[in-house]
Structure 1
Amino acid sequence: MKPLNDTVSVVTGAGRGIGREIALHQARAGAQVALMSRTQSEIDETARMIEAEGGIALALALDVADGASVEKGLARVVEGLGPIDLLVNNHGAFRAFGPIWDCDPETWWGDVEINLRGTFNTCRVVAPAMRERARGRIVNLVGGGTGNSFPHGSGYAASKAAIMRLTECLDDTTRDVGVYAFAVDPGLVRTQMTELQLNSEAGKTFLPGIQDLFAEGVNIPPARAAALIADIAAGRFDALHGRLLRGVDDRDALEQEMDRVVETDGRALRFTGLTQPKL
């Protein structure tokens, strides 16, 4: 029996890159996968790839920043495939490069809205249904700037740091019934998003470090994050709910150190050296 048989999975941003790889891994592990993206042709192609391997896929074009569209889309998933067991928020935008005074305000805010509001929109629909069933896992993708300064990618960084905190807050409201939320950083992967950073004039000007990293051969295969998320979906890393896992992690080593991570409250957004009130 495959580890994700009888699992209904939703993957946003599933039309290409990391999201497509995540969806393929879910399907190969036995899940029925709902694919979401703004571009119908891209998710249709992912669906064909899954179906060619004998899997089941449902392709739904929608804008995750549109709450009503998300509600309708997720209702269609439940109607067509059944209750949702796994939600993977992989959608993302990073188009505003440079110090904030050089960024177009609408572009900067658009990155935040797609990344953060889109994640909020999907979670607010799926999480209560998972609570009712006392079953489910939610994986939110984060990235550069989540836990450190990213001065020329401030919109992306601000949204990803917010998603990390949202993940922690969400997990604190669902873990009591065994519904767990996780953050995953896939690492630096060559995608359409990073191509914009590499090839646009703004990217070349403000993000030369990205150019250097790729020139040095840093390019994490998307299969690393996809395999990690498949393991999360199967329950392997439940002890690390509410925390950050990375595509570059050695999964066997990570499993061995889970108790230590929990004991030291690691892999989370925390102030250091300050006593915080318990809310």
Structure 2
Amino acid sequence: MKTLAIVGAGPGLGLSLAKTFGQHDFRVALIARNQEKLDTYMQQLREMHVEAAGFSADVLHTAQLEAALARVKETFGPVDVLEYSPTPSITDVASVLDVAPENAQFQFDYIVRGALAGVRAVLPDMLAKGDGGLIFTMGGASITPTPMMGNVGIAMAGLRNYVSNLHEVLKPKGIYAGTMSVMGWFKNTDETPARIAASIYEMYEQREQGEHVFEV
């Protein structure tokens, strides 16, 4: 049985990913800041007979994320697939004319630095095994100019570039790296998160393109 680690697990896409991969015989490790919410997600997954565990960590604190992924390995063994999709709070978003070094750095730390820490934590085991998946889900601002998401777009575009390079380097080594850019807004309560999760599982299974776009 393989292990999926979701960094930034929430009630929408994160939980849908856990259900989708769980239905394909994955154990699921959920990583987010709020342990109480994680416990709620775990209970839902266990009712579906999906083996799951929650690990609290803040992606803004590299040591916390590294420690959480180390606990995942102790609990389930090496991570087979890492999915990274923490969503920035709307209060931390700055439009393009309001972008400043400080708020741009915040989004870089949240979106890129956290992703780098996650990759460094799980990639050595994947390289040793010659198999694995690194998936990064982000918004459409990673591709399309979105002035209202000025500081977020800078960070997402940087992450997209990093993953594109990972895809080229890791593909010959048996490891898939890819991005899923979600174009548009959706509610956690509708069917969209489940559809996105199904598309992410499909891209992991096919392992062909390094970049995918989902139109809401």
What is the TM-score with the length of structure 2 in the denominator? Answer: 0.89
Question: How far does residue 65 in structure 1 lie from its aligned partner after superposition?
Answer: 2.5
What does residue 73 of structure 2 align with?
78
What does residue 98 of structure 1 align with?
95
Correspondent of 2:212 among 222, 245, 249 = 245
Counterparts of 2:110 and 2:159 in 1: how far apart (Å)?
11
Give the alignment of 1:50-129 within 5 angstroms: 50-93=45-88, 94=90, 95-100=92-97, 102-103=98-99, 106-129=102-125
What does residue 222 of structure 1 align with?
193
Does structure 2 conserve the Cα–Cα contact (< 8 Å) formed by 1:146 and 1:157?
yes
Instruction: Determine helix, strand or coil for the equivalent of 1:153.
Output: helix
Unaligned runs of 5+ in 1: 1-5, 193-218, 250-279
Does structure 2 conserve the Cα–Cα contact (< 8 Å) formed by 1:225 and 1:246?
no
Question: How far does residue 105 in structure 1 lie from its aligned partner after superposition?
Answer: 5.3
Counterparts of 1:110 and 1:45 in 2: how far apart (Å)?
29
What does residue 210 of structure 1 align with?
none
Does structure 2 conserve the Cα–Cα contact (< 8 Å) formed by 1:24 and 1:50?
yes
What does residue 16 of structure 2 align with?
21
Instruction: Determine helix, strand or coil for the equivalent of 1:223.
Output: helix
Q: Percent identity?
A: 23
Q: Bigger relative contact order, structure 1 or 2, given CA contacts below 8 A and separation 6+?
A: 2
More strand by share: 2
* Aligned partner letter, 2:83: V
What is the TM-score with the length of structure 1 in the denominator? Answer: 0.70
Give the alignment of 1:263-278 within 5 angstroms: none
Instruction: Determine helix, strand or coil for the equivalent of 2:112.
Output: helix
What does residue 159 of structure 1 align with?
155
> Alpha carbons of 1:12 and 1:223: their partners in 2 closer, same or farther (altered >3 Å)?
same
Instruction: Determine helix, strand or coil for the equivalent of 2:215.
Output: coil
- Say whether 1:172 aligns with 2:168: yes
* Aligned partner letter, 2:113: R
Structure 1 vs Structure 2 CA RMSD = 2.1
> Alpha carbons of 1:164 and 1:75: their partners in 2 closer, same or farther (altered >3 Å)?
same
Unaligned runs of 5+ in 2: none
